[in-house]
Chain A
Amino acid sequence: MIDFQVSANDQRVLEAIRKEAEIARAYARYYDENEHEFPPEELEEAKDCPKPLTLLGERSAEDAGMAVLTTLISRGMTWGDYSVQVRRPKGGLGNSALQAAGSAEQKQQWGHLTLAMAITEPGCGSDPSQVQMTAVRDGDHWVLNGEKIFVTAGCRCDGVVVWATIDKAAGRAGIKSFVVEKGTPGFTVTHKEKKLGIRADDTAAMVFEDCRIPRENLLGGEETVPKGSSGGFRSVMKTFNMTRPNVSARGLGIAEAALDFTRDALRQAGVEIEYGRASSGQSAAAEKFIRLEMLWEAATLSVLRAAWLADQGESNNTEASVCKAKAGAAVREITQGCIELVGPMGASRQHLLEKWFRDCRITDIYEGTGEIQHLIIARTLLGYTRNELK
């Protein structure tokens, strides 16, 4: 059926998330101003709160699938503060990759760790097929050499899933991902980036110098380079079909906070917002606000659509890009517009609105920029290969 109601069961989970988020919001400014402090896994005030995930309980046919619920939870967390997301252990992108591409033994071995994902290099970002980092087999080991940047959670993680090529001539087919635990000789986290927003999230640069890891650390275990295909690259890229709806939802949680703040501000200023009326009869401020809300709703539904497809076990490659492109652009417009509506106070650090404006900006960049998403969507629509549309 076609339905948009959240089940009572899921509602309970989301209410618990909201409680935690409200507590976290009180610390939002602190971790924004003190960029190099790690937020604790749990805030003192949240100790007695019911743990949202323990409320999941028995899932019934009435409840949302896990992909849908995950996006709702992410949205609920970042409504409080982006740092809530950061606090959650085992929530790294590397964990998603492990779940998507790892063998049963590998999931067993590293499932309890927080794993970051290291893809981007100083010379390659949006096109990961250009990865320069190498992995060379030496007996029962792989030897890794190279440099990675923009690794989310790179400092506080227990290990990273790192992308490297085992055969440069093979292009994308030669790219494999490897699990490297912290403390492995030759693996150094060099520095933590200073950023525009999401400052509670540590973004690291790392270097691998003759870093030796066991042969079994190749994610998925497929050591051969298939001829004429992209090999394991495609399966690793599939990780994004799950994570793109989720990071889109993070941005939308931030944008939702901005909309809630702005709605209150407008009410205080005496601006009345009425739905169902002709736009020509509304004040400019009311009309603009409704437009931003509408944009939020559109983006949110596209996220739910992509997540729902994943829950059905259906391909959501294009839909994941649709929601990422839509939400990434929407949250920028929404937070920019909210500041415009609120006026000078919107630009003041007395309030969190300016922080939300900075925080959500990343969601149109990481896990594939809006432009990359457009490329993916356009190729599908046109039936073009990556060579036909670059």
Chain B
Amino acid sequence: MIAFAPTEEQAVARDTMRRFASDVLFPKARECDEAAAVSNSLLAQAWELGLIATQIPEAYGGFGAARSPTTNAIVLEELAYGDATLAIAATAPSLFAYAVLDQGSEEQKQTYLPLFCGDTYHAAALAAVEPSPCFDALKPATRARRKERGFVLSGTKCFVAMGDRASHFLVVARADDGLGAFIVGRDAPGLKISEPEKNLGLRALPTVTLQLEGVEVSDGDRLGGSQRADVGRFLNHTRVAAAAIMTGLSRAVLDYCIPYAKERVAFDEPIARKQSIAFRLADMHIEIECSRWLVWKAASQLDGGLDATKAAHFARAYAAEKSMWIADNGVQVLGGHGFIREHPAEMWYRNARTLGVLEGIACV
């Protein structure tokens, strides 16, 4: 049945996250961006909301709520409305946790899921992106070569969010039998972790580069074990998440532009009364709505266990294009002020450009 009605739990989650985003994340966004560092107290506050443990079954220490990518997409849009960077930092461990939850072997679930159900923020990371031009997540250069027992991983990964403190990495690599994801401990021999990278946007998000030189993993470290995980399916979850975050960012831009345009006077009237500005704001609103419905459609397919490849592609590509356009126009509506770091417009502009090209940055 076609319906756009969040459930009661989804509405509660949305409202809670909206408050948290406005009261806690947004006021800290600029400070964290300038410092290029995320504050631990902020991560602790976000962790208390149970962002990840909620959907982990009680058997593994979680709260046992139904697994719902749609709920998570709603939550991510709200968090990113406060700040996309902090939303990603706070939820980054879910990339590892949800991958294990959805496609891990029983042994992997028992080993790793309890890590995410404790009282304190626990970092684990996804290593999907590689530093090659025109990178395609489904065609990584990182190889997983078969040995008699287990695999040997070699390659380079970058943009690994929260990699500076992650206890484990989920490394996407090409094996002889197709794409695989492999669990690698932080101390694995042959794994080199760089200093935090310096990026255009999402500056407060600690991302690192991983060098994998002959890192040995066991058969049991392949996600799903003998039931090899479907990496494409997992990437769909990450793409819908990225689209939800970009939608939240877009909404933040519009909500900042509206009062500005109503206050800023030029030629004797607020610029919002000029059609060139008013219509641009209307277009921003239209594209935010469309982005959200594409996210919801893809997420609901994930909820239903359907193949969401096409819908997730649409959601991510659309949100990437439109959030960039919206952030760009956010700078333009503010004029000179858009260029000054006193206002958040330039930060959103950098964040949107960064988000739009990343893969595996968040999960639903």
Tell me the A residues contacting B by CB distance below 8 Å: 1-7, 61-64, 68, 275-281, 290-291, 293-294, 297-299, 301-302, 304-305, 308-309, 312, 319, 322, 325-326, 371, 373-375, 377-378, 381-382, 384, 388-389
- Is A326 a contact partner of B4 (Cβ separation < 8 A)? no
> Could you tell me the distance between the alpha carbons of A64 and B1 in the complex, rounded to whole angstroms?
6
- Tell me the smallest distance from the CB of B271 to a CB of chain A, in Å: 11
State which residues 1-43 of B face A: CB under 8 Å: 1-7, 10
- Is B309 a contact partner of A281 (Cβ separation < 8 A)? no
Contact for A305 among B138, B289, B291, B301, CB less than 8 A: B289
With contacts A297-B314, A302-B289, A322-B285 known, is A276 near B1, CB below 8 A? Answer: no
* Closest Cβ neighbor of B255 among chain A residues: A381
CB pairs A–B below 8 angstroms (24 shown): A1-B3, A1-B7, A2-B4, A2-B296, A277-B138, A278-B134, A278-B136, A281-B136, A281-B139, A290-B317, A297-B297, A298-B290, A298-B293, A301-B293, A302-B289, A304-B4, A371-B279, A375-B279, A377-B286, A378-B275, A378-B278, A381-B282, A389-B272, A389-B275
- Is A276 a contact partner of B232 (Cβ separation < 8 A)? yes
> Could you tell me the distance between the alpha carbons of A309 and B1 in the complex, rounded to whole angstroms?
14
- Tell me the smallest distance from the CB of B75 to a CB of chain A, in Å: 13
One digit per residue, 1 when the CB lies within 8 angstroms of any chain A CB and 0 when it does not, for chain B 132-152 equals 001111110000000000000
**A residues less than 8 Å from B235 (CB atoms):** 276
* Closest Cβ neighbor of A301 among chain B residues: B293
- Tell me the smallest distance from the CB of B62 to a CB of chain A, in Å: 22
Let me know if B241 is at the binding interface, CB within 8 A: no
- Is A64 a contact partner of B282 (Cβ separation < 8 A)? no
**B residues less than 8 Å from A293 (CB atoms):** 314
- Is B1 a contact partner of A301 (Cβ separation < 8 A)? no
Let me know if B294 is at the binding interface, CB within 8 A: yes
> Could you tell me the distance between the alpha carbons of A382 and B282 in the complex, rounded to whole angstroms?
9
Question: Which residue, of B1, B4, B286, B309, has the highest number of chain A Cβ atoms within 10 A?
Answer: B1
Question: Which residue, of A5, A298, A325, A384, has the highest number of chain B Cβ atoms within 10 A?
Answer: A298
**A residues less than 8 Å from B135 (CB atoms):** 278
With contacts A276-B236, A281-B139 known, is A290 near B1, CB below 8 A? Answer: no
Let me know if B313 is at the binding interface, CB within 8 A: yes
Besides the contacts A278-B135, A375-B279, A389-B272, what 9 more A-B pairs have beta carbons closer than 8 Å?
A: A1-B3, A2-B7, A63-B1, A280-B134, A294-B318, A302-B286, A304-B4, A381-B254, A381-B285
- Tell me the smallest distance from the CB of A24 to a CB of chain B, in Å: 25
One digit per residue, 1 when the CB lies within 8 angstroms of any chain A CB and 0 when it does not, for chain B 93-125 equals 000000000000000000000000000000000
> Could you tell me the distance between the alpha carbons of A301 and B304 in the complex, rounded to whole angstroms?
18
- Is A294 a contact partner of B314 (Cβ separation < 8 A)? yes
- Is A378 a contact partner of B317 (Cβ separation < 8 A)? no
One digit per residue, 1 when the CB lies within 8 angstroms of any chain A CB and 0 when it does not, for chain B 236-278 equals 1000000000000000001000100110000000001101001
* Closest Cβ neighbor of B274 among chain A residues: A389
By Cβ-Cβ distance, the 9 closest A-B pairs, closest first, are A301-B293, A378-B278, A280-B134, A298-B290, A377-B282, A278-B136, A378-B282, A275-B313, A275-B310
Question: Which residue, of B3, B282, B297, has the highest number of chain A Cβ atoms within 10 A?
Answer: B282
Let me know if B86 is at the binding interface, CB within 8 A: no
> Could you tell me the distance between the alpha carbons of A319 and B293 in the complex, rounded to whole angstroms?
12
> Could you tell me the distance between the alpha carbons of A276 and B296 in the complex, rounded to whole angstroms?
17
**B residues less than 8 Å from A305 (CB atoms):** 4, 289, 293
> Could you tell me the distance between the alpha carbons of A4 and B297 in the complex, rounded to whole angstroms?
6
Let me know if B70 is at the binding interface, CB within 8 A: yes
> Could you tell me the distance between the alpha carbons of A388 and B286 in the complex, rounded to whole angstroms?
21
Question: Which residue, of B2, B139, B286, B300, has the highest number of chain A Cβ atoms within 10 A?
Answer: B2
Let me know if B281 is at the binding interface, CB within 8 A: yes
**B residues less than 8 Å from A389 (CB atoms):** 272-273, 275, 278
**B residues less than 8 Å from A298 (CB atoms):** 290-291, 293-294, 314, 318
- Is B3 a contact partner of A301 (Cβ separation < 8 A)? no
* Closest Cβ neighbor of B6 among chain A residues: A2
- Is A291 a contact partner of B1 (Cβ separation < 8 A)? no
- Tell me the smallest distance from the CB of A214 to a CB of chain B, in Å: 42
Let me know if B312 is at the binding interface, CB within 8 A: yes
* Closest Cβ neighbor of A309 among chain B residues: B4
> Could you tell me the distance between the alpha carbons of A280 and B320 in the complex, rounded to whole angstroms?
14
**B residues less than 8 Å from A291 (CB atoms):** 317
> Could you tell me the distance between the alpha carbons of A302 and B137 in the complex, rounded to whole angstroms?
30
Contact for B297 among A68, A301, A371, A381, CB less than 8 A: A301
Let me know if B283 is at the binding interface, CB within 8 A: yes
> Could you tell me the distance between the alpha carbons of A290 and B311 in the complex, rounded to whole angstroms?
11
- Tell me the smallest distance from the CB of A12 to a CB of chain B, in Å: 15
> Could you tell me the distance between the alpha carbons of A5 and B301 in the complex, rounded to whole angstroms?
9
> Could you tell me the distance between the alpha carbons of A279 and B356 in the complex, rounded to whole angstroms?
12
* Closest Cβ neighbor of A273 among chain B residues: B310
> Could you tell me the distance between the alpha carbons of A246 and B357 in the complex, rounded to whole angstroms?
36
- Tell me the smallest distance from the CB of A275 to a CB of chain B, in Å: 4
**A residues less than 8 Å from B310 (CB atoms):** 275-276
One digit per residue, 1 when the CB lies within 8 angstroms of any chain A CB and 0 when it does not, for chain B 208-248 equals 00000000000000000000000010011000000000000
- Is A308 a contact partner of B2 (Cβ separation < 8 A)? yes
- Tell me the smallest distance from the CB of B288 to a CB of chain A, in Å: 10
> Could you tell me the distance between the alpha carbons of A217 and B5 in the complex, rounded to whole angstroms?
40
> Could you tell me the distance between the alpha carbons of A378 and B70 in the complex, rounded to whole angstroms?
29
> Could you tell me the distance between the alpha carbons of A299 and B289 in the complex, rounded to whole angstroms?
10
> Could you tell me the distance between the alpha carbons of A280 and B2 in the complex, rounded to whole angstroms?
34
- Tell me the smallest distance from the CB of A308 to a CB of chain B, in Å: 5
- Is A2 a contact partner of B300 (Cβ separation < 8 A)? yes
- Is B136 a contact partner of A297 (Cβ separation < 8 A)? no
- Tell me the smallest distance from the CB of A314 to a CB of chain B, in Å: 10
- Is B1 a contact partner of A3 (Cβ separation < 8 A)? yes
* Closest Cβ neighbor of B301 among chain A residues: A4
Contact for B281 among A7, A64, A281, A382, CB less than 8 A: A382
> Could you tell me the distance between the alpha carbons of A68 and B310 in the complex, rounded to whole angstroms?
23
With contacts A298-B293, A301-B290 known, is A378 near B279, CB below 8 A? Answer: yes
State which residues 188-206 of B face A: CB under 8 Å: none
> Could you tell me the distance between the alpha carbons of A297 and B297 in the complex, rounded to whole angstroms?
10
> Could you tell me the distance between the alpha carbons of A336 and B282 in the complex, rounded to whole angstroms?
24
- Is A294 a contact partner of B317 (Cβ separation < 8 A)? yes
- Is A377 a contact partner of B285 (Cβ separation < 8 A)? yes
Contact for B286 among A3, A276, A297, A326, CB less than 8 A: A326
